Structure 1
Amino acid sequence: MGDRAIAVKYFRIAGVVSAYWLISISLVFINNSLLSDKKRKLDAPLFITFFQCFVSYVLCIILSYVSEKLPSLFQFPKVNHDFTTLKALMPLSGFFVAMVTFNNLCLKHVGVAFYTVSRSLTTVFNVIFTFLVLRQTTSVPAITCCGIIVAGFLLGVNQEGHMGSLSAFGVTCGVLASATLSMYSIYTKKMLPLVGDSVSLLTFYNNVNAVILFLPLVIVFGEVPVIYNFPFLTDPVFWSLMLVSGVFGFLIGYVTMLQIQVTSPLTHNVSGTAKACTQT
């Protein structure tokens, strides 16, 4: 590979990582407005994520149709509801839905500070699962760093216990959120060949499955009455914000998979952790 090709490769990686940071931070503020706004607060995080997945699904269909009619404008692969592919990608979607669910439960039962500590375990799980699933080894310095992360996590648990704010359920959800996020990243890399390494197709199929999986969870976690009694259910401003969140949900889903594709699951999680620190 020549110097020019290497420069182009790293420039592309830098662009993808920058896009991930920008879109991710923007989506956090949009979701914060939906979940924490004093006037239009909707305490139904799973429904909001379900809606974002549905908007992403619709956008994929629209982009595929426009690309087919106007191929000179831009390229987007033709999408179809292939049951075999949907079934094969269900584990990936399952990890995605589990990640979001455990993430919300962790935030609900522990403080924001400890939430960040518990989510740092993602890097540790990534090293473990990368070896178990992808059969890729990790360097000794990286393993040493994982040991430091685990020590920090145990220290955080100890301090939460001393302050009397330790929630065993919240800690468990935080650990499971980290584990499922790690598996989601790894399975994204593993499943890309099933769709011809097309991030666009993987985004489409993942959102189809996610819509199906989130629907019963919205019911089980009691969000239907919350939605039904929401006073701004017919407010155009609220739905405009929901639509914007859906567009950004599509963008973050796409750029997340793209970042994993051009780097690695471990690099993606390190990028996400660094982004979270900067954002905080």
Structure 2
Amino acid sequence: METLLSKSLKIAAVVSAYWCISISMVFLNKYLLSSQDLKLDAPLFVTWYQCVVTVLLCFIFSGLSKIFPNVFTFPEMNIDPKLCRGTLPLSIVFVCMITFNNLCLKNVGVAFYNIGRSLTTVFNVAFSYVMLKQMTSGPALLCCGVIIGGFFLGVDQEGASGDLSMLGVLFGVCASASVALNAIYTKKVLPIVDNNIWRLTLYNNVNATFLFLPLMIVFGEFSEVLNFPLLFEFHFWFFMSLSGVLGFAIGTITGLQIQFTSPLTHNISGTAKAAVQTVIACLYFHDLKSVLWWLGNVTVLGGSAAYTEVKRREMKSAHNQQLPVSRKTDSEEKQPMGYGKR
């Protein structure tokens, strides 16, 4: 009983931490990207600095792991130019992903943010078919249709309220496509770094710190940053550094949530978190939304949850079909009726 209670408390703590970190990161990034207090028009610089913080934290935790091996473990970090080149294709997609995410957040409200980048599942299905030749079932495609319908309803209602930024929507669509591509390329590149997600995080962010530099020059962000009135203010760099720490932490807590629960539970948790985040944003920013606007959000979240459930059932069915017939029969004979459904 104590073991079950302890496990439940750990799961609750991990899920709660995931929600807090993820929601905090969205609100903090919104503040840095489009706050009237800062008025810093340099989204690429903000994103670049977050990558720099992640690289530093990787080396710091690697060093602490050597000094205090009994406290926590972290893989040894070193930079190999060959691995930098090998992970470069993924890093380019990674840069696009975090850039479009932040540009979307800069141009839309936090309440609309989830709608703006809600097509990730749809792009994942499309890219899996085009790049990996993986077919998708009819029920899963129907769920994608529901998500698309909710997306367009949400965009329509955001426009009706006068708050719509078509540029923000465009960035959201690009962010959704980049997230889907990032997942596909991650599977391809992970073997290069011995399937170590932290080493991949290091190389992604190291490459990103260099890839962002020419982009910042092209878009004139260096002059924007140098002329920024709060450039030498402590509170500005505190929030900038905090956003980088949260960006690093979200990777850790996401892995822990999957480890303590399952990928399915992680997806459900993310969907529920998105709903709570939308409600919090509307309350915090005093946004009054129409019934149809909320229906668009519910449709997107419902379609995403349904897609996750459909894929879970398909994976379970495929797994059962791969089991030896004799083993499956013996198992079913030994169990009372309904035992496996509890």
Same fold (TM over 0.5): yes
User: Please, what TM-score do these two structures have when normalized by structure 1?
Assistant: 0.79
On the 8 A contact 2:26/2:110 being kept in 1, the answer is no
Distance, in Å, in 1 between the alignment partners of 2:98 and 2:66 is 33
Pick one of 56, 59, 62 that aligns with 1:58.
Answer: 56
Superposed, 1:99-248 pairs within 5 Å as 99-107=97-105, 116-133=114-131, 136-156=134-154, 170-248=168-246
Aligned to 2:273: 275
Distance, in Å, in 1 between the alignment partners of 2:18 and 2:235 is 27
On the 8 A contact 2:100/2:172 being kept in 1, the answer is yes
On the 8 A contact 1:123/1:270 being kept in 2, the answer is no
Deviation string 1:57-108 (CA, Å, 9 cap, x unpaired) is: 0111111122123322221111111122222222222122112323344455
Distance, in Å, in 1 between the alignment partners of 2:254 and 2:158 is 32
Identity of aligned residues (%): 57
Amino acid corresponding to residue 100 of structure 1 in structure 2: I
Aligned to 2:43: 45
Identify which of structures 1 and 2 has the higher relative contact order when contacts are C-alpha pairs closer than 8 Å and 6+ apart.
Answer: 1
On the 8 A contact 1:122/1:269 being kept in 2, the answer is no
Amino acid corresponding to residue 70 of structure 1 in structure 2: F
On the 8 A contact 2:93/2:182 being kept in 1, the answer is yes
Distance, in Å, in 2 between the alignment partners of 1:15 and 1:50 is 31
Distance, in Å, in 1 between the alignment partners of 2:134 and 2:227 is 50
Superposed, 1:253-272 pairs within 5 Å as 253-256=251-254, 272=270
On the 8 A contact 2:111/2:277 being kept in 1, the answer is no
Aligned to 2:324: none
Q: How many residues align?
A: 273
Listed as ranges, the gaps of 5+ residues in structure 2 are 279-342
1:84 lines up with 2:68 in the alignment: no
Distance, in Å, in 1 between the alignment partners of 2:136 and 2:14 is 24
Distance, in Å, in 2 between the alignment partners of 1:194 and 1:34 is 35
Give the direction of change, closer, same or farther, for the CA distance of 1:267–1:46 in structure 2 (3 Å limit): farther
Distance, in Å, in 1 between the alignment partners of 2:266 and 2:207 is 23
Distance, in Å, in 1 between the alignment partners of 2:14 and 2:190 is 17
C-alpha displacement at 1:239, in angstroms? 1.5
Amino acid corresponding to residue 195 of structure 1 in structure 2: V
Distance, in Å, in 1 between the alignment partners of 2:131 and 2:268 is 19
Amino acid corresponding to residue 275 of structure 2 in structure 1: C
Amino acid corresponding to residue 97 of structure 1 in structure 2: V
Deviation string 1:192-230 (CA, Å, 9 cap, x unpaired) is: 333223222121111111111122222222221221111
Amino acid corresponding to residue 140 of structure 1 in structure 2: G
Deviates more, 1:163-172 or 1:197-206: 163-172
Give the direction of change, closer, same or farther, for the CA distance of 1:111–1:22 in structure 2 (3 Å limit): closer
Q: Helix, strand or coil: the match of 1:78?
A: coil
Give the direction of change, closer, same or farther, for the CA distance of 1:14–1:128 in structure 2 (3 Å limit): farther
Q: Helix, strand or coil: the match of 1:176?
A: helix
Distance, in Å, in 1 between the alignment partners of 2:13 and 2:135 is 27
Distance, in Å, in 1 between the alignment partners of 2:171 and 2:28 is 24
Aligned to 1:252: 250
